[in-house]
Amino acid sequence: MQAFFEKMLRERLGTADFALWISRNWTEWQGIYQTEGRQMLPPVLLAGQTLRKPQAIIEMKECTLAYLPYDQNVCIAIRIYRVMELSEEELAELTSLLYPCYTEFMAAKHEQALNTMMNSFRDVTQLLDLDELLERILASALAVIPYDSIGVLWSYEPAADALKVKARAGEMGEEMLLMRMKPGEGIIGKTFLRGEPRLYDSMRLLEEDVGNMSEDNRRHLYTAYHFENVCSIISVPIKIEGRTECVLIFYQKGQIPLFGEAEVRLLQSFADQVSIAITNAKLYAELSEQNEALIRRDEIHSSLMKLSLQNKGVGSIAGEMARVTGLPLVFVDFIDRQWHPRRAEWAPGWSMETLVKLYQSLQPPDYLTTVESEGEGPLLHLYPIASARQCLGYLLVQAEGRLTPLQLVALEQGSSILALELMRKQSLAELYFKKTQQLFNDLRLSKDSAEYWERSGEIGIGPATRVAVGLLEFPESGDPAALGTLSLQLISFVREYVTHPALPLAFASERRITFLLMVQEGYKPGELERRFIASLAEWERKAGIALFGGIGSVRTGVEAVNTSYQEADKALAYQKTRGKAGPIRYADIGVNRLFIRQPAEDLTAFMDEIFEPLRPAKGAAAVLEDTLTAYMASGGSAAQTAAALHIHINTLYQRIHKIEEILGMSFSNQEHLLHLQLACYLRKTLPKGTG
């Protein structure tokens, strides 16, 4: 990198020797490069203020010194050991050329600040004494700020209605400990009332907030520190539970104001850490009392995790949670649609569908719902088990009052493990789906009868077995992350209506779910399809999710699975083309099966051949279109058509003659009549916007 910069600088500076420094406070310079044989003497900025644009000056001993300012008070100085006249364009070019030095310097500073902050946070989390903790935080804040500064933390005492020094870091004397700042008094009191940070980098702002200090406080303050070399100040409020309780103030020493918005944000982050530290200190007494509960939490986690590792299942985990909480507890598994243990008598009215709607109404992180029973009965606490924005189950807990911290811990620990169990169950189900899909494809595509009967016999299909295929598909607008869970829930739901012998195979792949249905002995014609369709209608009602679906014909033989699958696929495509949710049997499509995958443009062109010539001029009534449509709808009955249109039958005949004349067709020609009937039929059945 140095060789590269030296080469680039040589092209602009010629053979002259040069040296580079960088600074973040305009006084302390760090050497970053020098040519051989030159002593690194840092520059001295005599102006006493920051530069806003590049500047070059002639130093003694025939040297040129160029200052190149960057953001956040960073400046790079380049000393050229000869006199050079540098134009604004040349200085700008040097500034751009040395920009990587600036970014590398800032990256190092940011990394150093981050490490300091992380070390600070790690240290303070081990401290329990509030005073020691605050001193450590202030010292760490001073280490992160790149400028020489003093920090003081003030805390509000309600009994005295005043703020007093809680911690200090830097050269502030003990006299400051005697100060008592009223709300609204001086910088501290005004920051307390204002509740917002403020940067003081001008005398006007300082005078506005300092002018009303009491004489005693002013005397104590200037005895503690002379403030002659303080040129910028940042004051930051510390809020606890939304109320300002402390004020953090930092004084930057030097001759040039260097504090900026970056330092304000940095100190605000430290103020947030102080807020957390104070809150934790206030809670320390309670945490000490709960130490036994924390140990118990580990025991709970260990016992629940042990059950998980032993593959005991969600029922055993729910039972262990009931034991450690000492409360009646039920887990509702949405994937397998089961209650562990059985549905509780003390939770009437809470179905799976009701619980799903409850979860959808919640806003994170307020997941725990408490329901009061009628009269003075126990409370019902409901806690969801969720993953990927999808509810996998619910914990129902009955208690006489609010849950204790230990019971809440058991719920949280158990819910995490239950979520892992359900996700593992879902992963196993997806693996099963892949194997099942392979078996289904083998059945569907098998061309060898012996191979077919060997594979089909594994699931109970024989030569005389009647089978059908059902296909379902989630709409495109659904959440892809939830499809796996929804597919499992749907398959479990359908199995409640169509039991295993009649549903030997079911699997999901992306948005599509495939069902292999098998007609059982004693089933009436169409009964299997009706059960399947009824289960889907009930799913849509309870889950609030509409699906597209198609059902193939019931068939037997080697080609039964493949043929029924092809029919179901066409029926599904027909539903999607119409944009109509719900399943349809292939047999119920009728003549529409001829147009299932016909391009919409072709169908539109076919209809336009008939209706475009009949369409009236703009503003006129669609007389001929309506007449043709009504005539075909009546099955060619002139009397019914005239009555439907409320016209005389002679008027109808005149219109029919006009239609024949315009289209060049005859209603007595069977081919022409079929053409007209088909155009009217398509216009009626196809989705709006087609034709």
Chain segment 284-328, per-residue pLDDT in tens = 756 666 676 667 777 777 877 887 777 778 888 888 888 888 888
Give the pair of three-digit tokens for residue 301: 């986690």
- According to DSSP, the residues that pair with 184 across neighbouring strands are none
Q: In this predicted structure, what is the pLDDT of residue 237?
A: 92
Q: In this predicted structure, what is the pLDDT of residue 191?
A: 92
Q: In this predicted structure, what is the pLDDT of residue 27?
A: 77
**What is the tens place of the pLDDT at every residue in 542-571?**
877 888 999 999 998 888 899 999 989 888
List of domains in the chain: 2-108 (3.30.450), 127-287 (3.30.450.40), 292-424 (3.30.450.40), 446-595 (3.30.70.270), 600-685 (1.10.10.2840)
Q: Is 246 helix (H, G, I), strand (E, B) or coil?
A: strand
Residue numbers in the chain where pLDDT is lower than 70? 1-5, 37-39, 46-50, 113, 117-118, 120-131, 133, 285-290, 292-294, 344, 365, 374-375, 388-389, 477-479, 481, 591-600, 602, 617-621, 686-691
Q: Going by DSSP bridges, is the β-strand pair 75-80/18-23 parallel, antiparallel, or unpaired?
A: antiparallel
Q: In this predicted structure, what is the pLDDT of residue 290?
A: 64
Q: In this predicted structure, what is the pLDDT of residue 515?
A: 93
Q: In this predicted structure, what is the pLDDT of residue 188?
A: 92
Cα torsion at 453, 456, 460, 463 (round to 10°)?
-40
Q: In this predicted structure, what is the pLDDT of residue 388?
A: 65
Largest distance between two CA atoms of the chain: 118
Q: Is 84 helix (H, G, I), strand (E, B) or coil?
A: coil
Q: DSSP class of residue 359?
A: H
Q: In this predicted structure, what is the pLDDT of residue 516?
A: 92
Q: Where are the alpha helices (DSSP H) in 446-460?
A: 449-457
Q: In this predicted structure, what is the pLDDT of residue 634?
A: 85
Q: Own/partner pairs for 212-220, CB < 8 Å, 24+ apart?
A: 212/184, 212/185, 212/186, 213/181, 213/185, 213/186, 214/182, 214/185, 216/178, 216/179, 217/179, 217/180, 217/181, 217/185, 217/186, 220/175, 220/176, 220/178, 220/179
Q: In this predicted structure, what is the pLDDT of residue 168?
A: 84
Residue in 340, 338, 352 with CA at minimum distance from that of residue 316: 340
CA distance 477 to 483: 11
